Structure 1
Amino acid sequence: MTAATGAPVRARRRGAAWREARPALLFLSPWIIGFLVFTAWPMIYSAYLSLTDYDVINNPEFIGIENYVQMASDEKLMLALANTAIFTLLQVPLYVIVSLVLALLLDRAGRASGFFRTVFFLPKMTPPVAVGVLFLLLFNGQNGLVNSVLGWFGIDGPAWTTDPAWVKPGLVMMSLWTVGASVIILLAALRNVPEMLYESARLDGAGFWRQAWSVTIPMISPALFFIIIVNTIAGFQTFDEAYTAFFGSGNTTYSNDAALFYVIYLFQQAFGFLNMGYASAMAWLLFVIIMVVTAVQLIVSRRLVYYEGEER
């Protein structure tokens, strides 16, 4: 084929590829437009605002990296970041363990598993504001249901909502209310594990725990990894329940500092103090932190996560 004839052929191929791509782009256009308008543009504009002094009322005033420099000496920001990190480190492992235990139980439930799947998932539909109010009712140090149940066993329950040492553990326990979605994901992964692997393990003399460690965990590791990633990101973005319980009512009786999470402090800066430029810088710092943590998890997953058909 000569250069003279090759050019028309390439042009026809490009034309055919474009004709095939047009229907796909047409169907994707609502998402593309929504992404550009509601995600990409706000992110770009917030990056600009992070370099300004902006109080919503007056025009933004460019101040360079001053907001980022200020964050390094903001003790309350460091407190909020520490609270968020501690909450995430407590919440994610416990969330995954409880989800896995419930999924294993459901896998053995037989015909009743459909009913229990619905029961476990329904709390996920509960509005976060209602969960925050429920937290105050259940974990009230004087007459809450949790301490009442502990009292039946002779245990003097802690002051969950007023003792700074127990605020975050209480919120972690309350977060387990919404494990239903993770349970369903893990249950689907469990049911995709080939039965012949368990048969081979039993023939080799492997007991329940050995089967769980050598067969079940590796085969469902992609689902476990997905849940860990999603819940880690959600942990760093914790807001609704803690804000409703400790800040939404304006009640200063509770230990607000122990429940001051990063996004709550960001919200206060943006809409309480109208420091929108500083809040935008905080948002970008959180974005970078989440990206770094996720990147580390992805690197670690290369050694720990097994994908079927992948060569090792």
Structure 2
Amino acid sequence: MSHTSFQSRLAGSPAAAAGPMRVMRRSRLTPRQLENRAAYMFLAPWFVGLIFITLGPTLISLYLSFTRYNILRPPRWVGLENYIEMFTQDPQFWAAVRVTFFFVGWTVPTVLLMSLAVAVVLNRGLSGLAFYRSIFYVPSLIGGSVAIGLLWREVFGSRGIFNDFLGLFGAAGQSWVANPDTAPWTLVILNVWTFGSAMVIFLAGLRQIPASLYEAASIDGASAWIKFRRITLPLLTPVIFFNLILQMIHAFQAFTQSYIVSNGTGGPAESTLLYTLYLYKRAFVQLDMGYASAMAWLLLVVIATFTGLLFWSSKFWVYYGDD
């Protein structure tokens, strides 16, 4: 048999006919399908992290919240016992709730007011705007660090520079972090000091307001206050809403400041015992992981509830350009 006749028979065989068909089938993917396949490949690590690092531990913590678990022994199912103990038998839990709501209630509105005020001033076209913006933004980057917490404890200690400042006016100093009446305020001041991130967001929102609106208001004789109340605030409400959500969640989750300033105790007299600090103590000091998981899920429910209420209320006061 010649080489030519062998090739012709091979070409006419079913296997040879199936080969081009397989090639054609493989090449039938549209460019969009190829792009989607590439996108899924790039997203695969994120999905793996979501399942094994976020979603998996979250569901496990939900199960542990219904158990007694101290790491050394297997979890023992107790149902709602952890939740009942929180609300009926744990005075420290209610102390942490009280301190946390005090902290959130003061820091969130104060941060919003200060950041908005500074953003309005910086938006007036000051020379060296980039420098001032950086100066105000830096505390938000380092405010949650351990070093700043240690520094804050020294500043408001009995020999801190805050007492030295009061001494210039003849006022007597004290250890502000050791007094139950003043210790919570040191945490509030520390958190307010880190208003820079909200300020930058407000400044970006102010830059998006058309200057023609202010020019038209000036022609009508509107004062600076009228411009701010009738133009700036309504057009800035989406940014205010966004900052409000972020600051509320951040305040509920605050931990480092309380841990460092109180040296991990939440004292004096539980006056700086934030919810997250008490959760940490139950989990990693007392090794009561089941109870700590229940506290974590309760915190999630509280944050979700407040966030949902804010979203519901936004339809009454948040103005969008297409409304």
Output the TM-score relative to the length of structure 2.
0.85
> Could you give the per-residue CA deviations for residues 118-156 of structure 1, whole angstroms, max 9, x where no partner exists?
22222233252112112112112x332223223333444
Q: Which moved more, 1:149-158 or 1:261-270?
A: 149-158
What displacement does 1:113 show?
0.6
Gaps of 5+ in 1: 1-14
Q: Which structure has the greater CA radius of gyration?
A: 2
Please list, as runs of the form range in 1=range in 2, the aligned pairs for 1:190-205 lying within 5 A after superposition.
190-205=206-221
Match of 1:50 among 65, 89, 113: 65
Structure 2 residue aligned with 1:186: 202
1:89 partner amino acid? G
Distance 1:185 1:59 in 2: 47
Residue 211 (1) aligns with residue 227 (2) = yes
**Superposition CA RMSD, Å:** 1.9
Distance 1:215 1:166 in 2: 39
Structure 1 residue aligned with 2:49: 34
Q: Equivalent residue of 1:224, what SS?
A: helix
1:135 partner amino acid? W
- Between the two proteins, what is the percent identity of the paired residues? 37
Q: Equivalent residue of 1:293, what SS?
A: helix
Please list, as runs of the form range in 1=range in 2, the aligned pairs for 1:293-308 lying within 5 A after superposition.
293-308=306-321
Distance 2:293 2:242 in 1: 28
Distance 2:171 2:317 in 1: 40
Distance 1:303 1:19 in 2: 45
Structure 1 residue aligned with 2:186: 170
Match of 2:123 among 85, 103, 107: 107
Contact 1:161–1:167 (CA under 8 A) maintained in structure 2: yes
Contact 1:247–1:256 (CA under 8 A) maintained in structure 2: no
Contact 1:158–1:166 (CA under 8 A) maintained in structure 2: no
Q: Which moved more, 1:124-133 or 1:74-83?
A: 124-133
Structure 2 residue aligned with 1:128: 145
Contact 1:246–1:256 (CA under 8 A) maintained in structure 2: no
The number of aligned residues is: 292
2:257 partner amino acid? E
Please list, as runs of the form range in 1=range in 2, the aligned pairs for 1:134-173 lying within 5 A after superposition.
134-140=151-157, 142-156=158-172, 159-173=175-189
What displacement does 1:33 show?
1.8
Distance 2:299 2:33 in 1: 40
Residue 86 (1) aligns with residue 102 (2) = yes
Structure 2 residue aligned with 1:276: 289
What displacement does 1:51 show?
0.9
Structure 2 residue aligned with 1:261: 274
Match of 2:298 among 285, 298, 304: 285
> Could you give the per-residue CA deviations for residues 262-305 of structure 1, whole angstroms, max 9, x where no partner exists?
01000000000010000000000000000001111111111111
Gaps of 5+ in 2: 1-28
Output the TM-score relative to the length of structure 1.
0.88
Distance 1:38 1:136 in 2: 35
Cα separation, partners in 2 of 1:55 and 1:271, compared to 1, 3 Å = same
